[in-house]
Amino acid sequence: MKRTFLTAIILSVILFACGGGQGDSKPAATDGASETPTTSTGAPAYDPERGEGKFKDVEVPETLDPALAAAGEKVYSMKCASCHKLTDERLVGPGWKGVTLRNTAAWIMNFTTNPDEMLDKDPKAQAQLEICLVRMPNQNLNDDETRQVYEFMRQNDGVK
Amino acid sequence: MKKIPFQTLSLVTLAAALLLGACKPKNAGTAVSGDAGAKAYVAPGKYDEFYSFVSGGFSGQLSVYGLPSGRLLRVIPVFSVDPEKGWGYSEETKPMLNTSHGMVPWDDLHHVQMSQTNGEIDGRWVFGNGNNTPRIARIDLATFRTTEILEIPNSGGNHSSPFITENTEYVVAGTRFSVPMDFNNGDVPINTYKENFKGSITFISVDKEHGNMDIAFQLQCPGVNFDLSHAGKGKSHGWFFFSCYNSEQANTLLEVNASKNDKDFIMAVNWKKAEELVKAGKGKKQAVRYASNRWDEKTHTATSTIKNEVLVIDVKDHPELVYLIPCPKSPHGCDVDPTGEYIVGSGKLAALIPVFSFDKLQKAIAAKDFEGEYEGIPVVKYESALYGEVQKPGLGPLHTEFDSKGNAYTSMFVSSEVVKWNIKDLKVLDRASTFYSVGHLMIPGGDSKKPNDKYLVAYNKITKDRYLPTGPELSQSAQIFDISGDKMQLILDFPTIGEPHYAQAAPADVVKGRSIKFFDIKANEHPRATKSEADAKVIREGNKVHVYMTTIRSHLTPDNIEGIRMGDEVYFHVTNLEQDWDVPHGFAIKGADNAELLIMPGETTTLKWVPDRVGIFPMYCTDFCSALHQEMTGYIRVSPAGSNVPLTFHTGK
């Protein structure tokens, strides 16, 4: 986690050091995104639908798992509610209403667990940062908690 | 060929090795390139080019670092007790921390200003503000000691402070938290903020010769949050500029509720006008309570005086006194360039940096080019005062310093970088990443008329992985950049004390000649000084026992004392008889709940000790002073209350 965050920072520093961002009027936070890393086959390595992190294909059933959502609400109360409302109103971070309609499960779960790297790479995350001006801290949710919170988000978005 | 010292060579080699790897990063260290190591290197025994005085933030103290080495030279206790030096524990220093609330042992020292003459740093004093229990301190650069602390009434959160005018005529204190005035009933509902809360701007006069501070007058302003400030200079001398946020006048969840308006304000104060009003008797004397604490160099003793009155001018009664300039959005830094023409507001939530023109502001005021009023104060039209905007500078602009070539350097908290831009054409010239989230930044003289622009120091708020981990709590990191070329070059990281906010620096020559080496014992006017061993004595006054003690390498006189009884209060008045540089003695006694003393040569300092049990108590010198330092010890015998053991004392019988 920390290493990837660092790498992103170093990357932007090196871009700078190698002449990639000098005198550029763009905020440095977006410099990392200006040069999209590619894989050996030449395909873009960053998938903006999935985000960056450990979650790839998250299986989400059509109906809600109420027990899972209830567990998610508990996590939300302790680790998320100080900054995120359940309406569409921004507090410190954006309100959660509609978040599951705008983003894939993998994107949300990756952002939840890997915010630093995503803030350095992901255009949607960066757009939110320009509005909120606070980098979402890593609240260190484990995989189960992350899935629980995602289920709670789905419940908040009206999934039955 | 000129001989290059081996150390320099090896550093250059090291730096070169780092440079080779620059485009293939392995860790954060590779951000350093070229001859960085050599640039920050000051050889053993050599002096730094600059003194820097760095606020300790929540440590309450002021640290002194050499630049460019980043070597810590000294931590000067200011607002927080320091048992190591007896600061706040010795009888002489206790009054320095007195306030209208009684003894307050801690504060939050945010900003630093060095005194100026004609807009240039003169090296006489350093001022620091206490943010929590509003106070201003003055540190004397002859002794590197805090010699005055003045409390500020009608204030809560003394943040836009202690900024000064170009001849140190005034130090200002602007309140971050508006509060009901001390002379009004403060027992009001918090949600009556708009009606009952006011913001005070305090102008403190500074005596030209001795530096003594007195409150000249206070401006009572609308209830908002005054954040930072800077005086006009040159053409704008006579004006003072204060940023303010929370023009929404919110009293809860400011994070959201004070971030709603697109623009808040920079408040321009015509303080020459305020002086005229004071002379014309326009101010109103109000009953308040505040402490004025002064250190007397002759008696080595502080005196605290509680004062009861302050002169208040309500700005809404005097339309030519203050003007508001709209400034996007929640402005933090409020910085004036070396010419005095450009005022830079850093809206921490804004996507641009507005630069205001003093000339345009004056024209707008003359033409009454106002867009309206805010709480009775004229609001100048934004465009009428605006010189121009720096577009897309970065995220979260906070503070701006200047060089001597017409460039400005702004810290960007959110995008974690320093951005260099040209004041005339408002174009971004360079940007350098900081590690991480820079708050204040400092160029020696960078807010004065005469910047000495060789280095820039970034004071970062977040450290994370910069140093070896030390548990959850980390030192805050600072970074030095060489700014002598077109591009900023990172040359050194160093950890700091507390949480540095602002700092100031001056060429070593401006300061070092003032630094004294010891106190002249002949000039010591402490009422309980002991100027020779022959005068050492122990005197009982009821249950108070005064020990007139001397120290010299390497014995205490007296070093055997008997006849102390339970129920006594013992005062050790320790005079250091040495008259040479760097020979302090320390004094400590077993079980003292009152720290130790460090006594400089020629000085007298007092430790109060109340014995808690019968027995023999060792005492000793705590500061290694000679080959026989371990022998610099003594004993005190404590007997039961009512004991008839006679009071005796001696050394070497």
Cβ contacts of B481 within 8 Å, gap of 6 or more: B418, B432, B455, B456, B457, B458, B488, B489, B490, B491
The verdict on B25 touching A (C-beta cutoff 8 Å) is: yes
Interchain proximity A29–B351, CB inside 8 Å: no
The verdict on A81 touching B (C-beta cutoff 8 Å) is: no
Q: Is the pLDDT of residue B33 over 90?
A: no
Query: For residue B463, what are its two tokens?
Result: 């450290």
Phi/psi at B336 (5° precision): -110, 130
- pLDDT band for B256, please (50, 70, 90 cuts): confident
Closest in A11, A92, A133 to B395, CB measured: A133
Q: Is the pLDDT of residue B9 over 70?
A: no
Q: Which domains can be identified in chain B, with CATH numbers?
A: 6-40 (no CATH), 50-512 (2.130.10.10), 529-650 (2.60.40.420)
Helix H or strand E encompassing B495: strand B489-495
Q: Report domain extents, chain A.
A: 65-160
With CA atoms as reference, the chain B residue closest to A15 would be B23
Interchain proximity A133–B351, CB inside 8 Å: no
Closest in A10, A23, A135 to B28, CB measured: A10
Mean pLDDT of chain A: 81
Tell me the one-letter amino acid at B435.
F
DSSP class of residue B583?
-
- Give residue-wise pLDDT tens across range B283-299: 999 999 999 999 999 99
Report, as an integer, the average pLDDT of B397-425: 97
- Give residue-wise pLDDT tens across range B491-546: 999 999 999 999 999 999 999 999 999 999 999 999 999 999 999 999 999 999 99
Interchain proximity A28–B415, CB inside 8 Å: yes
pLDDT of residue A42: 53
- pLDDT band for A121, please (50, 70, 90 cuts): very high
Report, as an integer, the average pLDDT of B353-377: 97
* Residue whose pair of structure tokens reads 């026989």 in the numeric block: B628
Nearest to A111 by CA among A153, A160, A59: A153
pLDDT of residue A30: 39
DSSP class of residue B5?
P
The verdict on A127 touching B (C-beta cutoff 8 Å) is: no
SS3 B272: helix
Closest in B255, B465, B487 to A2, CB measured: B465
Distance of CA B320 to the CA centre of its chain: 32
**Chain B from 511 to 550: CB within 8 A of any A CB:** none
Interface test with B, best of A2, A7, A10 (most B CBs within 10 A): A10
- pLDDT band for A76, please (50, 70, 90 cuts): very high
Nearest to B23 by CA among A34, A32, A22, A20: A20
pLDDT of residue A41: 54
High-pLDDT (> 90) share of chain B, %: 92
- Give residue-wise pLDDT tens across range B609-635: 999 999 999 999 999 999 999 999 999
- Give residue-wise pLDDT tens across range B58-69: 999 999 999 999
Residues of A in contact with B464 (CB under 8 A): 2
Interchain proximity B414–A133, CB inside 8 Å: yes
With CA atoms as reference, the chain B residue closest to A21 would be B431
Task: Outline where chain A has alpha helix (H).
Answer: 2-17, 31-34, 66-79, 99-102, 105-113, 115-121, 123-132, 143-156
Closest in A18, A28, A135 to B394, CB measured: A28
- For A61, B274, B423, B493, the CA distances from A36, given in Å and listed in that order, are 33, 58, 34, 30
Q: Is the pLDDT of residue A130 over 80?
A: yes
With CA atoms as reference, the chain B residue closest to A32 would be B415
The count of CB pairs under 8 A between chains A and B is 85
**ipTM score above 0.95:** no
pLDDT of residue A44: 63
Residues of A in contact with B431 (CB under 8 A): 16, 21-22, 24, 28
Please give the Cα distance from B97 to A71 (Å, whole number): 51
Q: Is the pLDDT of residue B85 over 80?
A: yes
To the nearest whole Å, the CA of A29 is away from the closest chain B CA by 5
Domain A65-160 maps to which CATH number in 1.10.760.10, 1.20.1090.10, 3.40.50.300, 3.90.25.10?
1.10.760.10
End-to-end CA distance of chain A: 34
Closest in A10, A14, A26 to B392, CB measured: A26
pLDDT of residue B19: 41
3-state helix, strand and coil shares in percent for chain B, rounded to the nearest 5: 10, 45, 45
Closest in B33, B255, B395 to A130, CB measured: B395
- pLDDT band for B461, please (50, 70, 90 cuts): very high
Cβ contacts of A1 within 8 Å, gap of 6 or more: A114, A116, A117, A138
- pLDDT band for B351, please (50, 70, 90 cuts): confident
- Give residue-wise pLDDT tens across range B201-239: 999 999 999 999 999 999 999 999 999 999 999 999 999
What count of other Cβ atoms lies within 10 Å of the Cβ of residue B339? 15
Report, as an integer, the average pLDDT of B104-127: 98
- pLDDT band for A4, please (50, 70, 90 cuts): very low
CB B430 within 8 A of CB B408: no
pLDDT of residue B167: 98
Q: Give me the sheet containing B352-357, strands edge to edge.
A: B331-336, B342-347, B352-357, B386-391
- Give residue-wise pLDDT tens across range A83-107: 999 999 999 999 999 999 999 999 9
Interchain proximity A22–B431, CB inside 8 Å: yes
Q: Is the pLDDT of residue B23 over 70?
A: no
The verdict on A27 touching B (C-beta cutoff 8 Å) is: yes
Q: Is the pLDDT of residue B103 over 70?
A: yes
